[in-house]
Chain A
Amino acid sequence: MIENKPILRRAAAMVLAGVARAITGVRPIWQGCAPSRRQRIYFANHASHGDFILLSTCLLPEERERTRAVAGADYWRKNRIRHVLARDLLNTVLVERNWVQREQDPMVIMLDALEDGHSLIIFPEGTRNMTDEPLLRFRSGLYNLAFARPDVELVPCWIENMSRVLPKGAFLPVPLLCRVIFGAPVELTPAEDRHAFLDRARQALLELNPEYQRSLNHG
Chain B
Amino acid sequence: MAETIWLFLGLLGTLTTASAVATALSWKSTRKGDVLPSTLANLNSRIKAWWIMIATISIAFLFGKGGVILLFAFVSFAALREYVTLTHTRRGDHWILLGMFLVIIPVQYYLLWIEWYGMFSIFVPVYCFLAMPALTAISGDTERFLERVSEQQWGIMLSVYCLSHVPALLTLPIPGFEGKGLLLIAFLIATVQGSDVLQYVFGKLFGRNKVAPKISPSKTWEGLIGGVISASLLGAALYWLTPFTPAQAGLMAALACIMGFFGGLVASAIKRDRGVKDWGHMIEGHGGMLDRADSLVFAAPIFFHIVRYFWT
A and B held together in a complex: yes
Tell me how many residues of A have a C-beta within 8 Å of chain B: 12
- Segment of A33-41, A113-121, A167-175 in the binding face: A167-175
* Chain A contacts for B77, CB-based, 8 A: 175
* Chain B contacts for A25, CB-based, 8 A: 81, 280-282
State in angstroms the CA–CA spacing of A109 and B293 once bound together. Answer: 51
Instruction: Report whether B275 and A214 are in contact in the complex, using a CB–CB cutoff of 8 Å.
Output: yes
* Chain B contacts for A127, CB-based, 8 A: none
* Chain A contacts for B102, CB-based, 8 A: 172
State in angstroms the CA–CA spacing of A177 and B102 once bound together. Answer: 16
Tell me how many residues of B have a C-beta within 8 Å of chain A: 16
State in angstroms the CA–CA spacing of A161 and B275 once bound together. Answer: 16
Instruction: Report whether A164 and B89 are in contact in the complex, using a CB–CB cutoff of 8 Å.
Output: yes
Instruction: Report whether B275 and A174 are in contact in the complex, using a CB–CB cutoff of 8 Å.
Output: no
Q: How many A-B residue pairs have CB under 8 A?
A: 28
Residues in A162-219 with C-beta less than 8 Å from chain B:
164, 167, 170, 172, 174-177, 214
Main secondary structure of the interface of B (DSSP, over half): helix
Q: Using A25-B281, A25-B282, A214-B275 as known contacts, say yes or no to A177 and B85 having CB atoms under 8 A apart.
A: yes
Across the two chains, which residue of chain B brings its CB closest to A164?
B89
* Chain B contacts for A176, CB-based, 8 A: 81, 84-85
State in angstroms the CA–CA spacing of A172 and B85 once bound together. Answer: 17
Among A170, A175, A177, A214, point to the contact of B94 (Cβ < 8 A): A170
Q: Is A128 an interface residue (CB 8 A)?
A: no
Q: Is A97 an interface residue (CB 8 A)?
A: no
Q: Using A25-B280, A214-B275 as known contacts, say yes or no to A161 and B85 having CB atoms under 8 A apart.
A: yes
Main secondary structure of the interface of A (DSSP, over half): loop
B85 CB → nearest A CB, Å: 4
Q: Using A25-B280, A170-B94 as known contacts, say yes or no to A177 and B82 having CB atoms under 8 A apart.
A: yes
State in angstroms the CA–CA spacing of A167 and B141 once bound together. Answer: 16
Q: Is B214 an interface residue (CB 8 A)?
A: no
* Chain A contacts for B101, CB-based, 8 A: 174-175
Per-residue CB proximity of B256-283 to A under 8 Å, as 1/0? 0000000000000000000100001110
Q: Is A9 an interface residue (CB 8 A)?
A: no
* Chain B contacts for A170, CB-based, 8 A: 94
State in angstroms the CA–CA spacing of A177 and B81 once bound together. Answer: 7
Across the two chains, which residue of chain A brings its CB closest to B282?
A25
**28 A–B contacts, CB within 8 A, in A order:** A25-B81, A25-B280, A25-B281, A25-B282, A27-B281, A161-B85, A164-B89, A167-B91, A167-B94, A170-B94, A172-B98, A172-B102, A174-B84, A174-B94, A174-B97, A174-B98, A174-B101, A175-B77, A175-B81, A175-B101, A176-B81, A176-B84, A176-B85, A177-B81, A177-B82, A177-B85, A177-B280, A214-B275
